Amino acid sequence: MFDYSFQWRPALRALPDMLAGAWVTFETAALSMIFGVLIALVLTVMRQAPNRLLRGVGNGWVSIARNTPSLFQIYILYFGLGSLGLHVSSWLALLAGITFNNAGYLAENFRGGLKAVPGTQMRAARSLGMSAFQAYRMIIVPQLLRIVFYPLTNQMVWAVLMTSLGVVVGLNNDLTGVTQEYNVKTFRTFEYFALAALLYYLIAKLIVGLARLLSWRLFRY
């Protein structure tokens, strides 16, 4: 029944490459989070706009991002745009797909956070002579970020996990991609992927730990 000898040494030999892949994974996730937060802020404002078109676009984005699989979103960016003559690299398709997904989920979080910021804050800021943009930038958004900090951390972990989907559209330099390359060369599937799983776990824990440190620094007063 059990005639399999584990070979951990080749997996350990691949560790430097996998660590390099882990860095790519982290970078991709961080980039997608930065763009995702920016787009989500725009979407949140758009969804409250009096203009029906803006509201429609915002609501459409959020509901598509939340109601279809992220793999599907990456697929449509990779294969769908290709059929329109726009050939994007698999890394760009992955980044755009995750950013799209992040923006949708974060916009929903921000909407909840915005509800928790009292409406009087906005009115007070405006009556002190701030423009709408200034009021958002200096009064609303800082309070909002404090409320959504925990969901933001969660989403960052999610983004890291989602980067593993890049391998399905042929990305070969992120953690899963590197692992898969070694896997198809040696067929030591279990060993390589166990190591990758461990690395993903460590990255996730690192992010949660860093976020905890950051929140302790930021929200101290």
Among 20, 122, 147, 161, interactor with other proteins by CB under 8 A? 161
Among 50, 51, 52, 67, interactor with other proteins by CB under 8 A? 67
Residues 83-102 that bind other proteins (CB under 8 A): 83-84
Contact status: 201 vs other proteins (CB under 8 A): yes
Per-state percent for the chain, helix, strand, coil, to nearest 5: 85, 0, 15
- Measured from the CB of residue 76, what is the shortest distance to other proteins in angstroms? 5
The piece of 35-43, 70-78, 87-95, 114-122 that touches other proteins (CB under 8 A) is: 70-78
- Measured from the CB of residue 110, what is the shortest distance to other proteins in angstroms? 17
- In the three-class reduction of DSSP (H, G, I as helix; E, B as strand; rest coil), residue 33 is classed as helix
Measure the CA angle with vertex 184, ends 181 and 185; round to 5°: 85
Task: Count the neighbouring beta carbons within 10 Å of the beta carbon of residue 45.
Answer: 18
Query: What are residue 131's phi and psi, to 5 degrees?
Result: -75, 170
Among 31, 54, 71, 141, interactor with other proteins by CB under 8 A? 71
Query: What are residue 69's phi and psi, to 5 degrees?
Result: -65, 150
Structure tokens at 88: 């994007």
Among 10, 82, 112, 142, interactor with other proteins by CB under 8 A? 82
- Measured from the CB of residue 19, what is the shortest distance to other proteins in angstroms? 16
What number of chain residues touch other proteins (CB under 8 A)? Answer: 38
Among 20, 23, 204, 215, interactor with other proteins by CB under 8 A? 204
Find all residues with CB under 8 Å of 159, minimum gap 6, and list them.
29, 32, 33, 36, 98, 102
Q: Give the whole-angstrom CA distance, residue 126 versus residue 140.
A: 11
Among 18, 96, 148, 165, interactor with other proteins by CB under 8 A? 165
Structure tokens at 104: 């949708």
Contact status: 79 vs other proteins (CB under 8 A): yes
Query: In the 8-state DSSP scheme, what is residue 129?
Result: T
Interface ranges with other proteins (CB under 8 A) = 1-2, 4, 63-64, 66-72, 75-76, 79-80, 82-84, 157, 161-162, 164-165, 167-168, 176, 179, 189-190, 193-194, 196-197, 200-201, 204-205
